[in-house]
């Protein structure tokens, strides 16, 4: 019993020593305060990145974000390269929208039908003469007109076109003979169309741009018709003029759908 009691007391002493020994170790400090600033910093950075990406997408969709040319970036200050898209985006959007909605100004152009003459060209005259055009029933935009000639008011590359129709029908041959009017021989008639340019750089010297036509063998007693049409592009300067000459102008078709002249600017 004595041994047993001693062992029991030893056991109790050892237990007390163990419990007292546990207090010698310092409690482990929580790591929460260490990771909390890092967590908040990460969330803040992610939030800024999300806001920046949203703004960039919005600017791209609205068309105000411009691309930065990386090839020229080293030659410009870094601050200029980085802030230029932002400055462009902060401009007055109302002015930009108005500028986009404004239609492009139309290019210089003209289309003129033949003028219905009260005094027709001299019958039987084969010499080439300038056609007179009807500017009242025609169309002109930023181009002038005077005495059969189109005036170029803006330099550039133009497309020029011209069409002339000739027709002939001898009405009542016997009546013409009785009235003393000699019939015109149209059995071998040259119908030629010329388009000229008077160049301001060459002291308004006439330069032939186009020529077309045919020698027609028509019948004096039947209806005859022939049309000549041509067009080309040419560089014109401000102050140049354009006009059309035809032979046997007295045979021209007076209808504007068949005989007309025009030009349109294609570019600089």
Most confident of 98-112, 171-185, 229-243: 229-243
pLDDT for the residue 234: 96
Query: Where do we find the tokens 């060459």?
Result: 202
48-74 mean pLDDT:
60
- The residue among 104, 103, 102, 113 whose CA lies nearest residue 140 is 113
Q: Given phi > 0 = left and psi -120 to 50 = alpha, else beta, which region is 156?
A: left
User: Mean pLDDT lowest for which of 1-5, 103-107, 157-161, 231-235?
Assistant: 1-5
Q: Which residue would you say has higher pLDDT here, 24 or 228?
A: 228
Q: Tell me the pLDDT of the chain averaged across its residues.
A: 75
Which class for 141: exposed (0-12), middle (13-18), buried (19 or more C-beta within 10 A)? middle
What's the pTM value of the predicted model, to 2 decimals?
0.58
Q: 109-267 in CATH: which number? A: 2.60.120.40
pLDDT in tens, 117-140: 756 788 888 899 999 999 999 999
- The residue among 164, 152, 172 whose CA lies nearest residue 191 is 164
* pLDDT band, very low/low/confident/very high, at 242 (cuts 50, 70, 90): very high
* pLDDT band, very low/low/confident/very high, at 10 (cuts 50, 70, 90): low
- For the chain, what are the domain ranges? 37-101, 109-267
**Chain centroid, CA 76 distance in Å:** 32
180-206 mean pLDDT:
86
For every residue of 169-202, DSSP letters joined together read: ----HHHHHHTTPPPP--TTEEEEEEEEEEEGGG
Q: Which two tokens stand for residue 80?
A: 């200029």
**What residues contact 212, with CB distance under 8 A and at least 6 apart?**
192, 193, 228, 229, 230
């Amino acid at each position: 019993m004595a041994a047993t009691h001693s062992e029991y007391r030893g056991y109790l002493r050892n237990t007390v020593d163990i419990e007292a020994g546990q207090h010698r170790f310092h409690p482990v400090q929580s790591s929460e305060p260490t990771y909390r600033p890092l967590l908040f910093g990460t969330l803040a950075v992610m939030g800024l990145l999300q806001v920046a990406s949203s703004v960039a997408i919005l600017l791209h969709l609205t068309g105000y974000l411009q691309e930065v040319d990386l090839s020229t970036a080293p030659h410009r200050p870094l601050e200029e390269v980085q802030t230029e898209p932002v400055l462009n985006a902060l401009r007055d959007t109302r002015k930009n929208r108005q500028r986009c909605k404004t239609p492009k100004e139309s290019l210089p152009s003209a289309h003129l039908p033949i003028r219905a003459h009260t005094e027709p060209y001299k019958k039987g005259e084969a010499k080439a003469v300038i056609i007179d055009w009807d500017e009242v029933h025609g169309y002109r935009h930023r181009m002038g007109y005077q005495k059969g000639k189109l005036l170029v008011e803006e330099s550039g590359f133009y497309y020029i076109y011209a069409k002339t129709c000739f027709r002939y029908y001898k009405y009542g041959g016997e009546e013409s003979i009785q009235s003393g009017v000699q019939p015109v021989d149209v059995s071998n008639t040259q119908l030629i169309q010329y388009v000229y340019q008077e160049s301001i750089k060459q002291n308004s010297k006439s330069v032939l741009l186009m020529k077309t036509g045919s020698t027609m063998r028509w019948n004096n007693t039947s209806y005859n018709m022939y049309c000549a049409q041509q067009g080309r592009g040419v560089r014109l300067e401000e102050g140049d003029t354009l006009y059309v000459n035809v032979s046997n102008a007295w045979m021209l078709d007076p209808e504007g759908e068949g005989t007309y002249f025009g030009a349109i600017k294609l570019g600089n």
